[in-house]
Amino acid sequence: MPVVKIAPSVLASDLGNLNYECQRMMDCGADWLHMDIMDGHFVPNIVMGAPVIQSVAKALPNIFMDCHMMVSEPLKWIKDIAAAGGKSYTFHLEATDDPLEVVRQIKAVGMHASVAINPGTPATEISDELAHAVDMILVMTVWPGAGGQKFIAECMPKVAELRARFADLDIEVDGGVGPKTIAACADAGANVIVAGTAVFNDAQPSSVIEYLRTQCEQAQARIREERERILRGRPDVEASGRPEPCRSRRMWPQVRAMSLMVALLLVAATSTVYTGSFASLSTPESTKKLRKEQGLPVDDEKDGTQGLNSSDAWLLPVFGSIVLVSLYLAFKYLDRETILLLVQVYFGLASVLVIPPVLLRLSRMALGENILTRWEKQALQCEWSAEWTCPKSKRSLAKMGFRLDRASMVLGAAVLGLVGVYVVTRHWMLSNVIAAFFAIQGIMLLQLDSFATGFILLGGLFLYDIFWVFGSSQFAGESVMVKVATNFDGPIKLVVPRNLCDAFVAVREHGWSALPAWKFSLLGLGDIVVPGVFVALALQFDQYMASTRHPAVSFDRYYYKFAKPYFRTCVLGYVAGLVMTMVVMHVFQAGQPALLYLSPSCSLSVVILAWWRGELQTLWHWVNPATKEEAKSTKQVAAADKKA
């Protein structure tokens, strides 16, 4: 592969001390200087020109100036730049209909000829004939014309494609390149690195230049090593026939990074499921009966739970598919930024309604049932319901509502501030916090009426997940699920950086300015809420069994000191399924349908334990009392309406 070259972009320097700045960069280890020249036509700005190049060349005659010509007439300026002292002339493919003639005239005056392509120009526009004629290809990673733009990572596949086609050609990247983005550039195969503010604005530019160079050289070494292994035909054996002695050492950083990522995602997802399961508990029927008999107050707290029966479970994959396809089409044909703005507004408003009740429930779970009693003077209550009316029956489809009290209003104000910070910063940690609250609320409110319904739900969404992750590419040309998940920038997923170890090393060695761009692994809320609802059902079954065997007036929704064999086994099944998902995702470097592993692991864990304990019949025929109560209430309303 060609030699690594670092070319600081002079446009980011102190132009009032131009010659000094150029010399400073060369003293700090730069190989070239990148000179941006703009004519005000190809791009709106007018910058530099032949006189500036001549001034620098006169003061520093040995400097190699890489002249990036953002001009609408590249043929017009060739002789002027050559006479001024330019060494390399890079023209834009978009600015000419005859690039080969431009290359011929550049070389005729003794300069290196290079061609640049904008972010919107595909790599296939570079023909083999043109590539063999030029000395370098520049891939713009921002739109030309202004400094300080955000790095466009979607340009990296173009770099990789060009490197695969032209192994010995210089490939340059320009725009938003620095310590945070150099890894992506180096891994794609770029060897000429243009960096502006990342170098000139750093207190130690020599350290930044060395870091950029090291990253590229390490990437080149990895690529060469992989190529040699392929040529040898035995990836685990040296040419001498002996096993490679350092393979485990080279693999250790990858294993360490994957282990940290899996551990963080496991902790985040499992703690959310665990908390949501306990928050979903209600006071057992046996306790309510004892309290009524003894004249004690009965827990009549309305928590707005929505029971799910087998019919609902069959329909959920259908409704989920409709929503998923709608989002996919929206992202494909509508303006992404507008969609994301609407999403931010929706989740901002929803957070104010969802998070305070969850915080109130969690505070009671942690500190006691009566901890906030004096703050809960009701101020406003509103309920809304939707029902399906048939000639012989009436069935509830959805129930929603909210109540406001002093505690909710104080928490709502705090949540509004949290959401405001998230909307402004889009920080992944805040997104995770909000997403976790939504997941807990979902597990709290959605309650399965039986394990049969749970098995139907997990089985249906098992097929749903497989189809939309893998099968959808057959007719859509890409994975619909992956497309929506990666484009949807909102609190509907838990994300964990895969490159935490690399970030720690970069910050430790080069300071916070070297913090790399995050590369995330994600887990959708559906992969938390759906198995979480089933895990919560296992806990509710444990509570029912314990309260039936040992009824007591103190056995309310906040009493947790009872045996939980099914819950613990199901949690272990969830953890096992999640670990399997992460490992397969890392091995194949592709998004995985998590429910492919979570649905069987959760279902089988409960079934195997019930068979082992001889309680399979009991488990199969058990009906969740909380959903029975809701069904009874719905029937009473229907009867009253019919009578009226």
If asked whether residues 279 and 396 sit together in one domain, one would say: yes
Q: What was the pLDDT predicted at 573?
A: 96
If asked whether residues 538 and 411 sit together in one domain, one would say: yes
Decide if 247 is inside a domain: no
- Note the maximum CA span of the chain: 104
The region of weakest confidence among 60-64, 220-224, 564-568, 635-639 is 635-639
Q: How far apart are CA 458 and CA 534, in angstroms?
A: 8
Q: Is the pLDDT of residue 637 over 50?
A: no
Q: Which two tokens stand for residue 272?
A: 């959310």
If asked whether residues 225 and 303 sit together in one domain, one would say: no
Where is mean pLDDT largest: 7-16, 147-156, 308-317? 7-16
Q: What was the pLDDT predicted at 213?
A: 93
Q: Which of 110, 238, 114, 237 is nearest to 170 (CA)?
A: 114
Cα 239 to chain center, whole Å?
41
pLDDT tens profile 210-230: 999 999 999 988 887 876 776
Decide if 79 is inside a domain: yes
Are 411 and 372 in contact, with CB atoms under 8 Å apart?
no
If asked whether residues 194 and 320 sit together in one domain, one would say: no
Decide if 239 is inside a domain: no
DSSP, residue by residue, 548-596: HHS--TT-STT---S--HHHHHHHHHHHHHHHHHHHHHHHHTS---THH
With residue 446 as reference, give the H or E element that holds it.
strand 446-448
More confident: 629 or 97 = 97
Q: What was the pLDDT predicted at 9?
A: 93
More confident: 335 or 86 = 86
With residue 39 as reference, give the H or E element that holds it.
strand 33-39
If asked whether residues 329 and 393 sit together in one domain, one would say: yes
How many other β-carbons are positioned within 10 Å of the β-carbon of residue 537? 30
More confident: 26 or 512 = 26
Q: How far apart are CA 403 and CA 44, in angstroms?
A: 55
Containing structural domain, residue 196: 5-232
CB-count exposure of residue 583 (10 Å: 0-12, 13-18, 19+): middle
If asked whether residues 342 and 198 sit together in one domain, one would say: no
Decide if 618 is inside a domain: yes
If asked whether residues 580 and 526 sit together in one domain, one would say: yes
Q: Is the pLDDT of residue 634 over 50?
A: no
More confident: 532 or 42 = 532
DSSP, residue by residue, 80-131: HHHHHT-SEEEEEGGG-S-HHHHHHHHHHTT-EEEEEE-TTS-GGGS-HHHH
More confident: 636 or 55 = 55
Kindly list the distances between the CA atom of residue 283 and the CA atoms of 277, 399, 546, 609, in Å, as whole numbers in the listed order: 14, 20, 12, 25
Tell me the pLDDT band of 327, cut-offs 50, 70 and 90: confident
Q: Final residue of a domain: which of 197, 232, 267?
A: 232
Q: What was the pLDDT predicted at 411?
A: 76
Eight-class DSSP state of 70: E
CB-count exposure of residue 249 (10 Å: 0-12, 13-18, 19+): exposed
If asked whether residues 211 and 304 sit together in one domain, one would say: no
Q: How many domains does the chain have?
A: 2
pLDDT tens profile 552-578: 877 888 888 899 999 999 999 999 999
If asked whether residues 476 and 404 sit together in one domain, one would say: yes
If asked whether residues 289 and 196 sit together in one domain, one would say: no
Q: Is the pLDDT of residue 272 over 80?
A: yes
Q: Is the pLDDT of residue 455 over 50?
A: yes
Residue given tokens 């100036």 in the structure block: 65
Tell me the pLDDT band of 199, cut-offs 50, 70 and 90: very high
Q: Which of 632, 634, 545, 598 is nearest to 286 (CA)?
A: 545
Q: How far apart are CA 34 and CA 80, in angstroms?
A: 17
Q: What was the pLDDT predicted at 367?
A: 75
Task: Say which CATH number the domain at 112 has.
Answer: 3.20.20.70
Q: What was the pLDDT predicted at 384?
A: 56
Q: Is the pLDDT of residue 163 over 60?
A: yes
Tell me the pLDDT band of 420, cut-offs 50, 70 and 90: confident
Q: What was the pLDDT predicted at 275?
A: 94
Q: Which of 445, 479, 478 is nearest to 465 (CA)?
A: 479
Decide if 548 is inside a domain: yes
If asked whether residues 499 and 562 sit together in one domain, one would say: yes
Q: What was the pLDDT predicted at 273?
A: 95
Tell me the pLDDT band of 308, cut-offs 50, 70 and 90: confident
- Dihedral sign of CA atoms 2, 207, 183, 35 in order: negative
Kindly list the distances between the CA atom of residue 49 and the CA atoms of 37, 137, 287, in Å, as whole numbers in the listed order: 6, 22, 86
Decide if 243 is inside a domain: no
Q: Which two tokens stand for residue 194?
A: 């243009």
If asked whether residues 439 and 374 sit together in one domain, one would say: yes
Q: Which two tokens stand for residue 563?
A: 């045996």
How many other β-carbons are positioned within 10 Å of the β-carbon of residue 25? 26
Decide if 245 is inside a domain: no
**Would you name the residues annotated as active-site residues?**
36, 174
User: Structure pTM?
Assistant: 0.59
End-to-end C-alpha distance for the chain, whole angstroms? 85
Q: What was the pLDDT predicted at 186?
A: 93
Q: Return the bridge partners of 497, or none.
A: 520
Q: Return the bridge partners of 90, or none.
A: 68, 114
Are 175 and 149 in contact, with CB atoms under 8 Å apart?
yes
Decide if 297 is inside a domain: yes
